[in-house]
Chains A and B, each alone.
Chain A
């Protein structure tokens, strides 16, 4: 993995105008091409943290750099070329009369030429399988499809960094699998992805790294396996790893000397007859 740092926080603090302190001294560096899961209970500061990465929020103190740009000194318009933020609820962003216009909105805002816009819309429609819906009104689509249009509208802007806020919430298993596949595709294209989610199966499957927030502080940082294996951390934050991981831990099943994260790994582990020493 390349070690080019793409997002960097230095002693980041954020206090809301109401006086609520949502982040207290977060230091973090994210490298290009990392797929980072951001987990923690509701209210732990996850969303506040990632909203700093496209400039929606500015640090109360400390610094945030995105692609070397100090977010304090840049407008969202400038940062959003590099970091795209997909909101949890697509209904909060969709407004245009057609999916096509929805996809054109972001690219037009960042000043792409007409040809570029057309090309980006075509690529986004292709990537997300939206060709047949381009002329539909987004409000006539089902919720899962609207959610897809929401992600596609950011993809059309071609950012290197994707910030996904609860991408699988409200989606059934089949749709959640599709989101996981999309994240894999983003990874293959060499993009950096941050996933704020409660969906531990998604985190286990997609992420190369997981950071844990608790009470406005960053208290855990490691691979999914390391984080899910840290009982103390999980108990403190009230988070639970996927069921298969918990089971494997209980019965001492190991895969390459590590606790399996997925059913695939667990089955393989049994086949090899691997057990914890």
Chain B
């Protein structure tokens, strides 16, 4: 990624962004700076209350347009200021998936749910059908078109919310903890779907998530927030290898990385950069046990 970035313009540019909710005493975000380039897959990590949701909502202008509070700094999406472009217009560029799937489902059928955004974009009928079919296939909900979203399981609802957002073909897809109700396999499925959208459609993905194992597996870059501040911004291999910082923040690193880190401290001979995924760990730890 990084090699090609120099030539590209960032698609998201956050400059000195601070936000304080009207009801709060402390700022939820404090002078955040970062950029995202087209086609990147960025994960945001942090404890509850670290500012992940606030940051996500800032990326399509819900903050400050629909949430009361004081904002400083700028958030530019393809050069457009989120203060100036109404959320419903920005929606044509930025798709948003929230954490509670039930609250995002407003239609009587699965098909109608995916269609809603397309209707608003004025997509012609025939193309709408194609996109709905495609989106439901990607999230594995084909055949359930006529079902009521209320009858779906939590995991299915979450995938439906993703389908509804992705069918609009946004250039950027922002997801705020979209896998909360999913079982581990369900989480992986969602991340795989996102990876496909990212690889095949070049969609830029920004996702807030707790599950570090899946982040390590799929994301290109990890941003860590702590009490409103941006602490780290780098590739997952680097970020998750900094075990001290991660645990100081009350977060954790993938289990395989923690395992290697603790062995290293006990004097075991392990590579400089520890594996962060299961697959890599199996390769690198196959001969583990030999001390220096």
- Whether A and B touch directly in their complex, counting CB atoms under 8 A apart, is answered as yes
Whether B183 pairs with A41 at a CB distance below 8 angstroms is: yes
Whether A244 pairs with B210 at a CB distance below 8 angstroms is: no
The chain A residue with its CB closest to the CB of B287 is: A251
Which residues of A in the span 16-44 have a Cβ within 8 Å of any Cβ on B? 41-43
Whether A243 pairs with B255 at a CB distance below 8 angstroms is: yes
Whether A173 pairs with B255 at a CB distance below 8 angstroms is: no
Tell me which of B73-81, B116-124, B152-160 binds A.
B152-160
B residues near A166, Cβ cutoff 8 Å: 181
Assuming the contacts A243-B278, A251-B282, A251-B286, asked whether A42 and B183 have C-beta atoms less than 8 A apart, the reply is yes
B residues near A143, Cβ cutoff 8 Å: 48
Docked Cα-Cα span, A240 to B185, in Å, equals 7
State how many angstroms separate the Cβ of A188 from the closest Cβ of chain B.
24
Which residues of B in the span 178-192 have a Cβ within 8 Å of any Cβ on A? 180-186, 188
Docked Cα-Cα span, A241 to B182, in Å, equals 14
Whether A270 pairs with B282 at a CB distance below 8 angstroms is: no
Which residues of A in the span 222-277 have a Cβ within 8 Å of any Cβ on B? 238-240, 242-244, 246-247, 250-251, 253, 263, 266-267, 270-271, 273, 275
Whether A173 pairs with B47 at a CB distance below 8 angstroms is: yes
A residues near B251, Cβ cutoff 8 Å: 172-174
Q: Size range of the interface on A?
A: 20 to 34
State how many angstroms separate the Cβ of B217 from the closest Cβ of chain A.
10
B residues near A267, Cβ cutoff 8 Å: 259, 262-263, 266
Assuming the contacts A198-B183, A263-B258, A267-B262, asked whether A251 and B285 have C-beta atoms less than 8 A apart, the reply is yes
State how many angstroms separate the Cβ of A40 from the closest Cβ of chain B.
8
Q: Does B250 contact A (CB under 8 A)?
A: yes
State how many angstroms separate the Cβ of B167 from the closest Cβ of chain A.
23
State how many angstroms separate the Cβ of A262 from the closest Cβ of chain B.
8
Q: Does B288 contact A (CB under 8 A)?
A: yes
Q: Does B197 contact A (CB under 8 A)?
A: no
Which residues of A in the span 156-193 have a Cβ within 8 Å of any Cβ on B? 166, 169-175
B residues near A171, Cβ cutoff 8 Å: 48
Q: Does B221 contact A (CB under 8 A)?
A: no
Say which residue of A169, A174, A239 sits within 8 Å of B185 (CB atoms). A239
Say which residue of B46, B48, B182 sits within 8 Å of A198 (CB atoms). B182
Assuming the contacts A171-B48, A251-B282, asked whether A270 and B268 have C-beta atoms less than 8 A apart, the reply is yes
Q: Does A108 contact B (CB under 8 A)?
A: no
Which residues of B in the span 134-153 have a Cβ within 8 Å of any Cβ on A? 153
A residues near B154, Cβ cutoff 8 Å: 42
A residues near B250, Cβ cutoff 8 Å: 172-174
Docked Cα-Cα span, A244 to B256, in Å, equals 6
0/1 string, B33-56, CB within 8 A of A gives 1: 000000000000011110000000
Docked Cα-Cα span, A186 to B259, in Å, equals 29
Say which residue of B46, B181, B252, B255 sits within 8 Å of A169 (CB atoms). B181
Whether B289 pairs with A142 at a CB distance below 8 angstroms is: no
Q: Does A69 contact B (CB under 8 A)?
A: no
0/1 string, B262-274, CB within 8 A of A gives 1: 1100101000000
A-B contact pairs, 22 of them (CB 8 A): A41-B185, A42-B155, A42-B156, A144-B48, A170-B99, A172-B48, A173-B210, A173-B250, A173-B252, A174-B250, A238-B185, A239-B185, A240-B188, A243-B255, A247-B278, A247-B281, A250-B278, A251-B282, A251-B286, A263-B258, A266-B259, A267-B263
Query: Told that A198-B186, A239-B184 touch, could you supply 12 new A-B pairs with CB distance under 8 A?
Result: A41-B183, A42-B153, A170-B48, A170-B180, A172-B210, A175-B47, A247-B281, A251-B288, A267-B259, A267-B266, A270-B268, A270-B288
Closest 9 CB pairs of A and B: A42-B153, A174-B250, A244-B255, A198-B183, A243-B255, A240-B184, A250-B282, A172-B47, A238-B185
